[in-house]
Structures are given as C-alpha cells and as structure tokens.
Amino acid sequence: MVTNTKKDFWIIGSLLFLSLVPSIAGVIRFLQIMKGDVYTVENQRFFNDPIPVIIHIIAVVFFSILGAFQFAPGFRKKHIVWHRMSGRFLVCLGLTSALSGLWLTLVYPRVPTDGDWLFGIRLVVGIWMTLCIIAGFFFVLKKKISLHSHWMIRGYAIGMGAGTQVFTHLPWFILVGGDPSGIPRDLMMGAGWFINFLFAEWIIRKDRK
C-alpha cells in the first residue's frame, strides 16, 4: 500500500513537472515582451497587443503551480484551511486562464503554423475549461465535495494541456525535426488536451469505485 506521503509526493511532483516546460516558456515569453526583443512575424501579435497574453501567462503559471498542491489527498487534509483559501484563487486563476485563452484565439491574428482545425479545438477547450471550473465552484458552494473535486480535476487537466503537448510533439521533433505546421500541429496540440481529458475521466471513475 502506498502511504499518503508517497502518494502526495508523486502527485505534486508529477504535476509540477508537467507544468515546468510551459511555465518556463511563459516566463521567457513574458520577459521578451517586457524587454521588447526577439521580435518575429510569429510573435508580432504579442508585441502589438501585450496585455491579454501577459494576463494569460501569469494566470496559467500560477494556476498550474498552485493547482499541483490541491489534488494530493494527504496534503489537502493536513492543510484544509490553506486548501480552501488557495482554492478561491485557483478558481479565479483558472477562469482568467480559460477566458484570456479564448480572447487570444478570437482576437489575435492566426500564426502561419496553425491549421484550420486548431482554431475550433482551442474554442472547445477554452469553453470546456470555463464550464468545468464554474461547475466545480458551484458544487463546493452546495457542499457537494465529491462533485466539486471531480469538476476541478477536469478543469485543471485541460489547463495543463500545454505540458502534455510537449510529449505529443516529441516524436515529431525526433523523427522529422523542425516545428510542425498545419494538420500535424493541430493534431499534436489537440492530442495533448485529449490525453489530459481521458486521464481526468479515468481518475474520476477510479475515485467513484
């Protein structure tokens, strides 16, 4: 039997590891915007209208890191007051992340590497994440803690899609090289969110048994 301490270690460690690459990439992007350097055709939209992407980066980084400590059962029981207080911030950060992501999708010009499918996928993902977090908040107000946990797991899993996308892109980088574009990029991006969606549902079904 795995002890709560070991289980917490693996849950928190795995989620922090998954958030590492997108967090580092977000910080680098943030610094580039602040300095105004590394200006390219692909990131031109960020420099032309930096506020939405800065808000998105900050929300995603803190959402992914803070959320890593919310789903470890032993840590949660030991620090229940912290869990409740940080959970309020997590809801705000998650909604900010999802809604700013939708804004970036709808308002920013599309980059050349994005295919036609990715626009629709991002809309579905952003709307689903928003609904999951709202549902999670609604159920905690109703004191339905199990349902609250399940919907927050779903919302967090979708929010962590960028971490999984590192691995869905890895075979392309190894076998083909260079940055993918068009349908291959759309499929690899979508696969990251879909894998997290399936994993979240597996965790939820396991918890119900």
Structural domain boundaries enclosing 81: 4-208
Q: Is the pLDDT of residue 91 over 60?
A: yes
What distance in Å separates the CA atoms of residue 92 and residue 83, rounded to the nearest whole number?
14
Question: pLDDT class for 41, splitting at 50, 70, 90?
Answer: low
Percent of the chain with pLDDT over 70: 94
Q: What would the two tokens of residue 181 be?
A: 């574009």
- Beta partners for residue 182, in sequence order: 114
What distance in Å separates the CA atoms of residue 63 and residue 12, rounded to the nearest whole number?
13
Which stretch of 6-20, 43-57, 146-160, 180-194 has the lowest confidence by average pLDDT? 43-57
Give the pLDDT of residue 1.
36
Query: Is 0.75 surpassed by the pTM of this model?
Result: yes
Contacts of 83 (CB under 8 A, 6+ apart): 70, 76
Segment 18-22 shows an average pLDDT of: 84
Backbone angles phi, psi at 102, to 5 degrees: -65, -40
Segment 23-41 shows an average pLDDT of: 76
Give the pLDDT of residue 40.
64
Q: Is the pLDDT of residue 23 over 80?
A: yes
> 3-state DSSP call for residue 207?
helix
* Number of domains comprising the chain: 1
Q: How many alpha carbons fall within 13 Å on the CB side of residue 31? A: 6
Calculate the average pLDDT of the chain: 87
Dump pLDDT digits (tens) for 119-178.
999 999 999 999 999 999 999 999 999 999 999 999 999 999 988 998 999 888 888 887
Give the pLDDT of residue 4.
64
Dump pLDDT digits (tens) for 54-65.
899 999 999 999
